[in-house]
Structure 1
Amino acid sequence: MKNTLQRFLLTIVIYLCACACTVFFITPYSFISFIGPAAGITTALIIFFGADMLLAIAVGTIIFCLYLFFWLNLPIELSMVIITLLAIMLQGFWAKQLTLGEIYQQNWLKSRRHLLMLLFKIGPLISLVSAFTVIIVVIIENKTLGDNLFFTFVSSWSGSVLFSVFVTPLLLLTKDQQKLSFPKRAFIIIASFLAFTAIGLLFKISQDVQQHERQDIFKQVKNRVLQGIQNEIDITTNELNSLSAFFKASKEVDLDEFNLFTQQIFQSKSSVRALEWAPITLHENRASFEKLHNIILEKNGKGVTQKASNRSRYAPIRYVYPYRSNEAIIGLDVLTNSKHIISMDNVIDSKDIIASAPINLIQDNHSNLGVLFIFSVFTSPKGKLTNIEQGRSDDLLGFVVAVVQFKSFFQHISPLETDKIDLFIEDVTSPVPYILFGQQLNENHRHVEKINLQVNSRQWLISLGEHYPWQLQQKNWQVWGMLFGATLGGMLFQVLILMMAVYSNELSSQVIRKTRELIIAKEQSEQKNTAKTNFLHTLSRELQTPLHAIKNFCQQLPKSDNKEKKKIIKNIELAQENMQKLLNMVFDISKIELGKFKVTSEPFDLYGFLGRIDDMLLVKKLSKNITTDQEKSMTFLIDSKVPYFINSDELRIQQFLIAFCESVHELFNSRHMRLTVKVHNHHLNSATLLFVFTNHDNASVDNTPLFSHFVNSNMAFFSTKMAMAKEVCQLMGGDANLAISASGERVLTASIKILITSNEQQHAYQSHVFDEAQDK
């Protein structure tokens, strides 16, 4: 229980540390920034600690999401957290299942193929889960489907790959079970840690460069927009100042003079729609003004134009340029402008140009708002310039007005489509702001700057913001190159480092294997040399018996009569036959060594064959005229599972069986032996046929040192027949060995590989035998 709790807490700590690293290395940071690395570190932790640590991963994810929401103030929805948590846990569990064999058997460092398979599974393959999850979360987070989701996909995949490929081997190398020395493991861990840190710093530097470029582009657009607005305001101000100076300098200005002068200063490409002159007209002069020019008008509370009510003075618009499309405002009293639009008292009291709030123009539709720039014009008597500065209403001549519509201008100066930046301008002078241009910006994961601009007593708020969040913005080739270069470079570095360890393991294994093979080859060579020496010793010993017999018989031959000579000659022939048999066996053994001893595989009746062997042994026993005290017997026992027909070499089986049967009595020091025939079936129709020789005497077993010697060394040293029989067994895919059972019983086991005869082959063999019998 204590160990489980420690692993639980350690998993949470490692997981949170990895997630915290993303806050330092990733700029700008959003909710999806940690998903890829978190999935990668989860892969490593679940593979190392086991699937029971998924609960710790869930706890760590919830803690980190709370940190992002409350500390970093990131907009996080519950659906995003649930999808992310499920995907991270799925990736970790899937990785555990995919790598279960390599980790459990600990063969991932035994060969390069196993290593590459492990890295591919925990890296490029399994990281697709987190990459696709990020796409889903981005769509939920931004409520849009951008054109550049592939970069988000690749960057998340890259983070997961790097964390899993670097951290998983490091955790696995901390286990003592891995077949790596401590210096090798320390080298790999330190090198991998430094490489991982270097890659993280490269990403950090690259992102800082990207953000600087991003800020520079944004600053250029901002300066261009602000400069354009300021230039447009200056143009309007200059036109009003010029027009006011013209009226100050002139005693009386008629329509032609106004049009001529205004035509010179009016810029058709500016935002100014019209320039107006509204002179001060006293009530006593109203009738004459209306008779000469136009009826004085005003707007009621509903914005409807009507005849002006009686007041002490008026400021009706007398002249307007251009007149066409602006004639509807002739006679409109500017002093009746609503105070929430513009305060005319402030205009009179101020020596500067005053701007109004956005209004609907009488001469235009409601889709294009206008702004009035009004400047009061005072008289300038000689020697009384102070009246202008003091702004006394008695010296007021009238008002010059510039009607400005900024919509086309704002569209002209707004950022280009390639800049992917939105412009939003509003008048925030009053508590309720007026929208001048654009739409409210979406500030979610976008860089937004707001600038307060003083425009002739009005306060404008100019907002510039990115159209797409950073994750969905187009990236240049340097960003793509850095992403792929760092990812592939990091993977390649880790592969090479681990390959060095694997290659070192392979070399060590090969050295150990070659050393073992050399030792075995040396032992086999020594055994062969010893076997040859012992075989020659056995052969020479067996040859000495007939040679000595021939020598003795030859010495007796001159001294014997004719009857005895015939008997001696017959004994010499028997000795010669024994020598011939020995030489034939030596010849057979040499053919086996040279690979010239052929073994066939033909169907035959095994039970009939064993019966014939029994008959042959009986005939040999009868031909030797052996007494009852010297009688030797061989009892055959056949297991019920032994097939009746097999495919093998009948002649070779007969050869080694006769050799064993003739030698086993002497070897076991027993007159009565038992031969048990068994079979061990393999797949399909292959099997191993076993011939087991055991003692059948009732007398107690006497394991003489001689028998134990052959058990411990090689029974082929007993006689040339045994050597030849053992070689034949080995040639037929089996072997022959001596053993002493736990009860002390002596056992000789000979085995060969056979094929069980099919029904078709059995029928063909029986037909052939029947045909031969009919022919005879």
Structure 2
Amino acid sequence: MATSHEIKHLVEKLNAATVRIKQRLTERYLAQIPTQPKTKRGSDPKSIWWGYFPVVLVAILGLTITIMLFVQSMRWEKNQVEIAFREASQDRILVIQREIKHSLRIVLDIASFFEASEIVGRREFRKFVGPALKNQAGIKTLEWVPVVTDEMRQTFIEEARQSFPPFEILEMDDSGMLNKSPRRLFYYPILYIQPYQYNKQLLGLNMGIDPTASNLFSEAEITREIQVSPGIYLNDDGERKTGIMVAAPVFFNADNTNEESPQANATIRGFAIGVFYIGEIIERALESLLPGGIDIHFYQSDEDEEGRLLYSHHTRLRDSSTVTDSDINQEISYAQEINVGTQQWKIVCNSASDKFTADTWSSWVIFFGSLAFTLLFTIYIATLVGRARQVRLEVEERTAQLWEVVQALNQEVIERKSAEQELQRLNETLEHHIANRTAEAERRAQYLEQFAYVTSHDLKAPLRAVSNLAQWIEEDLHDKLDDAAKEQLALLRDRVKRMHDLIEGLLEYSRVGRSSDPESLVDTQELVEEIIDSLSTSDRFSIKIKGKMPTLNTDRLQLVQVLSNLISNSLMHHGGKKGKIRIKCDELDQFYQFSVCDDGQGIAPQYHKKIFLIFQTLESSDLESSTGIGLALVKKIVEEHGGTIKLRSEPGEGACFYFTWPKVSPSE
């Protein structure tokens, strides 16, 4: 060990070295201080002007930033007004849509009432529509229009006269007079109408000769859905108003028809009709909202034309009902299209001239505040520049502090080294945590897989018991069960089978990415042909392979799962009695792109992402065998191999599934 004398000697040598370093640094920095007289430092005019360059730069930057802040603030305030206007407009459109749907629901309710009853009298019809007439605004008439053939005309008239003796099938001539209808193949007379006291003269009117009503009847009978007419003009006590006609078809129930009835072969029974005033519906809907200073215009959307104005609602905040162009703020406008049954309306909202105006006082505050700050800051910079010449006088004093700065730098170096060591220690700790978390994740994955197998086994046992019990009941009580009970037992077994398939699909889905078969050389031409043979397709469907199929080294089982699921999906959801399926492969840079295309019913674009989600199906049925796992399993397998899958389809144009498969396995 070193003696105290040696330690003292070392300390003295360290102090001496420190003094020498300090002297050298002081001499080096002092030597850099200019020694010219003060009278000569500011003698150069160029240096004086160059010294004030920062002042000019600060002034220009300050003015530029001030203008940008002012413009941005004005824009932001305008955007806030537009956002508030758009939200208020959307609230009103939503309320109007809800009121219109409620009006259309009345017609559907009438149609459902007639479908549920074989015979509906005039009194029952009046009682049924009475609440709607009291509570719903905008109703001009609610009608029941049966379909009458020429053979049934006289019988129909006699039955109608039992409740309304003057009843006759009438038609309106060009002069507006009602006359007895000539013979026609079919008649569409108004049998019931409410409110009765204002429309009783229309009883018996043949609606089939009216072009608007005739088109509605034809479309409703073909589509078997409610139909809405374009805007029509209605007479309300001499005042011309715009309205719509709504028709809902009512068909004969198959159980209620018989061979003795002359209309046994007919399917259409009649139509529930509703005629509504557009303006009254809209005004009734907007009564629940506070006035917002928004004018709303409704147009009949037409692809060939700009659109016909149906109705205009003017804000209740106006002092008068007269509206001029100056009262409408054209700069703030919002347009949206809505579906009214089978029709499409365009709604345009405009702000009143004195409403939804941006309040710019804050922008002007920002402008003048920034301008003042720029002025003060420029003065401050100018003051600093004026004092810059005095900085050199302080160099000597700053040099005396240089040693402390060096010490501080040395301390900072030590701290940084310590920080690096601490960072290294944290990295090692992080790697340790990552290793622990990875091991924990693998352990949990193994537990989940074991749990899935155990759970599937426990779920399959009761399912088999339920299926066997249903089969035993059907075998033991075969002669005692009616058709309904047999159908329910068949439905029970089908549900058990679907549950079994669902469990198997979930197990298969959970195994993707965790286990795989050894890779082997796969001839995809031969593989696809084996899949086609295994599916046992009927002669109604033609499955062809277009072009040359590749041979690649990959997981054969998972490629089989992808192709068989896609081909089975095309067969199952084709939607036709016969069809064609084409399988093709294109070579890309690092992938092969396989495609499976059919000429079936197609899939709407809004469902292209949904079908790849687990448990998602586009159609629901009690006897539907699809579990909603097939395409989700395909997507997971393809993505586990680094590929992608997409769908191109339109309704009625078939569907094409494209997926990419790597040429070289990732493990290679």
**TM-score, with structure 1 as normaliser:** 0.36
Larger RCO of the pair (alpha carbons < 8 Å, separation 6+): 2
Greater percentage in helix: 1
Greater percentage in strand: 2
Give the structure with higher Rg (CA): 1
